[in-house]
Structure 1
Amino acid sequence: MRNQPKYNFFKNTTYALKGLKDLLKTESSFKIELLIVILLIPIIIFIDTTITNKLIMFITLMLMPLMEALNSAIERVVDLVTLKHHDMAGRAKDAGSTAVFFSIVIFVVSWSTILFNL
C-alpha cells in the first residue's frame, strides 16, 4: 500500500510550490540556475530565430534547474537514510551531480550552436 493521498491538482500544486520555496531557501546552486533562467528568458523571446530554436533554447535552459531539483532530492533522501560515509551513498550523490553536469553541457552546446549560427 502506498503512502500517497488521492490526486488533487490544487493540493499537488501546493506541494510543488512548497518544494520550490524550500529549494530557494536552502539550495544555492538552484538559486543561481534560477537566476540564469530569469536573465536568459528575454533572450529567447527577443532573439531572431525559428520557433524550433527558441523551443530548444527554452527546454535546455529549463533542464538545468530541473536536474538541480532532482539532484537535491537524491541528496536529501540519501542523507535521510544515512549521514555516515558510505560508498553507495556517495555514488548516488555523484550520479545526481552528473545529471546536473550533463544538463549544463547540453545547455551550453545547444545555445552556442544556435547563437553562433545566427
Structure 2
Amino acid sequence: MHEPLGPDDPLAPLPFNPYKGNRGIMRAWNALKYSIKGFRVAIREESAFRQELTLAAILVPIGVLVPVEPVERVLLLGSVMLVLIVELLNSSIENAVDRIGLERNELSGRAKDLGSAAVTVALLTCVMAWGLILVPRFGPALLHWLGMR
C-alpha cells in the first residue's frame, strides 16, 4: 500500500479552487472575457502600454506591407508583439507588488526594476530586429529620398 500524500508533497492534488471549475469551451470563453478585460484595464490605466500600443499601431501595418521574406516578417511583427507581452507582464508584477503594500521595500523595488529591465530588453530586441532587417535593405534608398546622399 502507498502512504497518503502529505500537503507538502509536490505530487499531492491541489486544494479545491472554486475559480477553476470550468472546463472545455466555457473555460476558453471565460479566458477570452478575462483577456478582453485585461486589455481594457491596460489601455485605461497603463500609460506605457498605451504608448507601446501606439507604436504597434504604426509598426504592425508597416511590418505587414514591407516587402520582406516571411521569416523576416515574423521577426518584425513578433518583436512588436513581444514588447506588448512583456509590458503586460511588467504591469501585472507592478500591480501585484502594489497590492501587497505601497511602502518602500527593497524586494518590491527589485521586482519592479526587473520588470522594467525586461521591457527594455524587449524594446531593444524590437529595435535590433527592425534595424537588422530593414536598414540594409532600405537604408540607402531612405538616405537618398531624404537628400542625405
| Bigger helix share | 1
**Percent identity over paired residues:** 31
**In structure 2, what is the equivalent of residue 49 of structure 1?**
68
Question: SS where residue 134 of structure 2 aligns?
Answer: helix
Distance 1:93 1:70 in 2: 11
Equivalent position amino acid for 1:58 in 2: L
Q: TM-score, normalised by structure 1?
A: 0.95
**In structure 2, what is the equivalent of residue 108 of structure 1?**
127
Q: TM-score, normalised by structure 2?
A: 0.76
Distance 2:64 2:100 in 1: 43
Which residue, out of 89, 92, 100, partners 2:111?
A: 92
Cα distance, 1:2 vs structure 2:
5.8
Residue 12 (1) aligns with residue 31 (2): yes
> Bigger relative contact order, structure 1 or 2, given CA contacts below 8 A and separation 6+?
1
Distance 1:80 1:36 in 2: 29
Question: Between Structure 1 and Structure 2, how many residues are aligned?
Answer: 118
Distance 1:9 1:91 in 2: 34
- From the superposition, tell whether residues 2 and 76 of structure 1 become closer, same or farther in structure 2 (CA, over 3 Å): farther
Equivalent position amino acid for 1:104 in 2: L
What's the C-alpha RMSD, in Å, of the aligned pairs? 1.1
Question: SS where residue 100 of structure 1 aligns?
Answer: helix
Q: Which has the larger radius of gyration?
A: 2
